[in-house]
Amino acid sequence: MLYAFSKSIFQLNDPEIKKILALSLFISIAVFFFIWTIVGYFLTNIIVFQIDWLESLIDTLGGIATFIITWLFFPGILSAIISLFLEQIATNIEKQYYPALSKPRGISFLNSLFSSFRFLVIFILINLILLQFLVFFPLLFPIVFLVANGYLISREYFESVACRRLSHQKAKMLSKFHRGKLLIIGVIVSGLLTIPIINLIIPIVATSIMVHMFEKWRYL
């Protein structure tokens, strides 16, 4: 697992990966500011009370809520964006580390788009539920957040990579068989996705890790 992490970090020096990273960074930053603007507008610019000091308090709390919501949802949106480039990333990794592999079935852009949208919807729904923990059980929130998102992210990334070479059913079976290890990877990835700047490269690293883990596990 550590070997897969190290290889995935070094993979960032690859010219093709750098191109994908640059494009995804541009899209991600644009999406980040879009989310910040939309959420900020609704939470701080809608007048709820006519009393000035109370409205000011609501605006301040709205600004804090904007930051929290953007911070919570940005990793999922970033992951969904990177998943659109999964085929290119996986192909590049295979050419470098597994040149003897036959050509995969691959993933069409429409399928990638659908998978990304589905992942994003599930991610948003789960994290809307997790917000209840932040409000009522704040001490438990970090643990629940990392485990829930770690499970979702690791399963989605691994099965997307596996489906390039296996049927959907076999990919799910392989994912289920290694769910413990995948959860550990997912929790680590989920944690890194909450760290500003670092989170911009983590989805590509996660995709690379899943390619290496898939090639290791499918022959066991």
Instruction: Report the amino acid identity of residue 101.
Output: L
Would you state the pLDDT for residue 81?
A: 81
**Percent of the chain whose pLDDT exceeds 70:** 85
pLDDT tens for residues 175-187? 999 999 999 999 9
Would you state the pLDDT for residue 107?
A: 72
pLDDT tens for residues 14-34? 888 888 888 877 877 787 777
Instruction: State the Cα–Cα distance between residues 206 and 203, nearest whole angstrom.
Output: 5
Would you state the pLDDT for residue 169?
A: 92
Q: Which residues contact 150 (CB under 8 A, 6 or more apart)?
A: 183, 185, 186, 187, 188, 189, 190, 191
By CB neighbour count within 10 A (0-12 exposed, 13-18 middle, 19+ buried), where does 40 fall? Answer: middle
Mean pLDDT of 139-146: 90
pLDDT tens for residues 46-99? 555 455 555 565 566 666 666 777 777 777 777 788 888 888 888 889 988 999
Contact 115, 189 (CB under 8 A): no
Would you state the pLDDT for residue 72?
A: 73
8-state DSSP, 102? P
8-state DSSP, 197? T
The answer to whether residue 159 scores a pLDDT higher than 70 is yes
